[in-house]
Structure 1
Amino acid sequence: MRLPALAPVAAAAASPLGLGAAAAAVAVTAMCLRSKELKPTVKGQGTAWNSAVLSLCPALTAPYRLPALLNNGHVETIFAAWFRKKPHVMYDREIVHMPDGGAVALDTEDLPAAKRLPDDAPVLILLPGLTGGSEDSYVQHAVVHAREAGIRAVVFNSRGTSGSPVLTAQFYSASFTGDMRNVVEHVRNRYPRSLLFAAGWSLGANIMTRYLGEEGEATPISAAVAMCNPFNLPLSDSNFKKGFNKIYDLNLARSLNRIYKEHHHLFEAEAAAPNGRPYRPDVAIKAGTIREFDDAITRIAFGWPTVDAYYAGSSSSLSIPDVRVPLLIIQAADDPIAPKEAIPFDAIQANPQCLLVVTPTGGHLGWCGGRGGVTGAPWTDAAVSEFFSAARQLLAQPEFAAAAAAARARQPLGAPGEPAGVYTLGETTHQAP
């Protein structure tokens, strides 16, 4: 069987130009397949914590190799979305109701008794991107890597994503941290002896960072990681209008449409009710951009007067100064959806809790330079696992006793109890696609 990479060579040899074209094709193919060594850059204050993290997490600064063909933000983004292999994780699903009548789905890996983690193992809450969920390859790889590091992953599927039910005329949004707050409390009560961590991608990272800023020192989360965070939503919205980025905007809008269509009737009924919110369901169901959908549904759901006000007020760059727990931020310099220009470098540098790692490539949710090859787990998985393992170790060491004591103080006293209005509807087991 002929390798696909050699197809251009064979075609060139059969052409009227003969061996000259074949030689050129060989040169182009070799250039595309040749690996390029890449090295992340790190920014942050030289605190004892950051210094210790960097010494314990070699993956954060070590060079990695990537075929030259993938050394492009668009190519890497699309390649990862189409060709990254899935571990096909089996999940236990828990439906958790929220105080406003809505619900979210929490997925935890379903394991045989011999592989189950102890009850006091650290717990990592994972927040996927805009329309992502527990079925996505990058999420499943993170679940597996967490378990291999002795950490229990809980995937937080927001309303409507990954089959999570939509019971009221309300979607989640970039500014909606209410569900995050309730989920964190629910998980803390379920695992009262465990350290809590959090990690988010894309819009999930934006929501998580906003939550950390709002909660400050009160959060039960002991350390967190944000990846591909759009940070500045007005800038990201503007970026969607440029060139090939319009394709991402259209695809994400279609993903929103697919989720929304199943629940269109709820929003129609709300818009028609005498005192209902003035949704525009006729616009939402055929929205061709994220902005159109947000203007028709999201900003109305959360009381923003305009979509621009919603974007400006929901940017997690505003929250960075108020983060009070260790936050590792990983961004790709060529991310077409979360552009480098949106990263709040000065605010991150000014906050001793933040550590920023910028990779020269990676695209959006790509990072195809992982140890498992270009179709394996993202490069970030090893770095994130090392970070949380380091956090676990540092919080237990005497020189970090104050941080460990603060983490313990945030654990609930007495019998665990749900936040007001939050309760579990039921549990199921399902196979991720």
Structure 2
Amino acid sequence: MTAQIDTSSCPTPAWLPGGHLQTIYGALTARYHRISFVRERIDTPDGDFVDIDWTAPGLFPDKLAGGQASVPDPQLGHTAAHRWLQPEDRPALSAAQDASALILFHGLEGSSRSHYAQAIAQHFRARGWVVAIAHFRGCSGFPNRMARAYHSGDSAEIGFMLDAVRQRVPHAHWHAVGVSLGGNALVKYLGEQAEASPALEAAAAVSVPLDLVASGRQLSESQLGKWVYCRHFLQTMKVKVREKAKRFPGNVDIFRINQARTLHEFDDLYTAPMHGYKNALDYWTRASSKPLLHSIATPTLLLNARNDPFVPEASLPGSKICSSSVLLHQPSEGGHVGFVTGRFPANINWLPIRLARFFETRS
């Protein structure tokens, strides 16, 4: 059995040509509705933590469960969360009988503040869904407790966070969205867990680098990749590793990491060895989800624009290597998590609408 392919367009504006402009404009300028969250910190089995940002019917960031106004927590001022989840908030989550629910896994250096996370969360929350934005370690605005961080192939972390939200909202119909790095980790999890039938109604991966070798080289070797996108990501990644080097001296060659100019160099020096890989190439090869596409049993949308500057078109999968549970949507325009539409100054509403259509109709 093979996957279905959808080549229908994302109607990007004529005044916004090319994947680079669509990517950058979508992230920095296009309009979207903003939303704030209630945050929960969950300890991991290895002594670390992850932060989940919740929004749901009956759960209000600016109001406590008893109806009293909530004062913003100053600790959370640099995040999209307004306050911490309280014990009295839990009934609002666990009482969601037969509700639809969504967990979102962000991309590299993303968070619940990211433009796509905000747009998707607001769209589904407005339609009565429970929404959880799951932060990978160190991405919620707080340094995690361990020398390790997160990586593209961390399917075990995906499984842990899925189990955590399902325990808190056990009677909901859960769906999952992974964006970019989070999409690769989600797809890898789905492929590995096919026989276990993960308790998901459906899943979607957006602008996902299924072939990490191809995408890693594209970002590290192309001129714009090296001088624009890598520099953007490395700004915050290096800050985090410098902070870790102070807490865990001897674990990181901070001098060489400070000299890193590409994701390949950074992954070679930190991400790969810190997470059990030999080097960047070994990490990118073994963490890629593309070889597992034939194993996916959960209905899954893979949405990749063919002009994505992070994901070479030649690396996109064809229908023959995917299971029949997969729908490949590969519009010609959209950039990397851009998908900008509408009249100037445009918006990014097309993406959550596309996700909702798949979850409702599987098409």
User: Structure 1: any 5+ residue segments left out of the alignment?
Assistant: 1-42, 47-59, 272-278, 395-433
Partners of 1:309 and 1:61 in 2: CA distance? 33
Corresponding position of 2:216: 237
Deviations 1:93-130 (A, max 9, x none): 1111111112111001253689x786121221101111
Corresponding position of 1:282: 255
Indicate if the aligned counterparts of 2:12 and 2:334 stay in contact, CA closer than 8 A.
Answer: no
Partners of 2:173 and 2:217 in 1: CA distance? 39
Indicate if the aligned counterparts of 2:3 and 2:320 stay in contact, CA closer than 8 A.
Answer: no
Q: 2:229 aligns with which of 220, 245, 248?
A: 248
Question: Once the two structures are aligned, what percentage of the paired residues are identical?
Answer: 29
For the residue of structure 1 that corresponds to 2:128, the secondary structure is coil
Deviations 1:232-256 (A, max 9, x none): 1111122121232222122112231
For the residue of structure 2 that corresponds to 1:200, the secondary structure is strand
**Structure 1 stretch displaced more, 279-288 or 183-192:** 279-288
For the residue of structure 1 that corresponds to 2:167, the secondary structure is helix
Corresponding position of 2:84: none
Partners of 1:204 and 1:104 in 2: CA distance? 14
Partners of 1:374 and 1:209 in 2: CA distance? 33
Distance 1:328 1:64, change over 3 A: closer
Deviations 1:271-325 (A, max 9, x none): 2xxxxxxx32332344322112211111112221222111111111012111110
Partners of 2:141 and 2:180 in 1: CA distance? 20
TM, length-normalised to structure 2 = 0.83
Q: Does 1:119 align with 2:100?
A: no
Q: Does 1:390 align with 2:336?
A: no
Partners of 2:39 and 2:354 in 1: CA distance? 27
Q: Which has the higher helix share?
A: 1
Residues 171-182 of structure 1 aligned to structure 2 (within 5 Å):
171-182=149-160
Corresponding position of 2:148: 170
Residues 282-361 of structure 1 aligned to structure 2 (within 5 Å):
282-348=255-321, 350-361=322-333
Deviations 1:138-158 (A, max 9, x none): 111100111133321100111
Partners of 1:260 and 1:378 in 2: CA distance? 35
Deviation, 1:374, is 4.8
For the residue of structure 1 that corresponds to 2:205, the secondary structure is strand
For the residue of structure 1 that corresponds to 2:222, the secondary structure is coil
Q: Supply the AA of the counterpart residue of 1:299.
A: A
Flag the structure with larger Rg.
1
Partners of 1:97 and 1:257 in 2: CA distance? 25
Indicate if the aligned counterparts of 2:306 and 2:332 stay in contact, CA closer than 8 A.
Answer: yes
Deviation, 1:188, is 1.1
Report runs of 4+ in structure 1 exceeding 4 Å deviation. Answer: 60-64
Partners of 2:31 and 2:359 in 1: CA distance? 24
Q: Does 1:91 align with 2:43?
A: no
Deviation, 1:337, is 0.5
**Structure 1 stretch displaced more, 65-74 or 180-189:** 65-74
Corresponding position of 1:366: 338
User: Structure 2: any 5+ residue segments left out of the alignment?
Assistant: 68-91
Partners of 1:64 and 1:296 in 2: CA distance? 38
For the residue of structure 2 that corresponds to 1:93, the secondary structure is strand
Residues 58-73 of structure 1 aligned to structure 2 (within 5 Å):
65-73=11-19
For the residue of structure 2 that corresponds to 1:352, the secondary structure is coil
Indicate if the aligned counterparts of 1:125 and 1:197 stay in contact, CA closer than 8 A.
Answer: yes
Indicate if the aligned counterparts of 1:96 and 1:103 stay in contact, CA closer than 8 A.
Answer: yes
Partners of 1:299 and 1:163 in 2: CA distance? 23
**Structure 1 stretch displaced more, 253-262 or 120-129:** 253-262
The number of aligned residues is: 326
Indicate if the aligned counterparts of 2:204 and 2:302 stay in contact, CA closer than 8 A.
Answer: yes
Deviations 1:188-213 (A, max 9, x none): 11111111110011111000001111
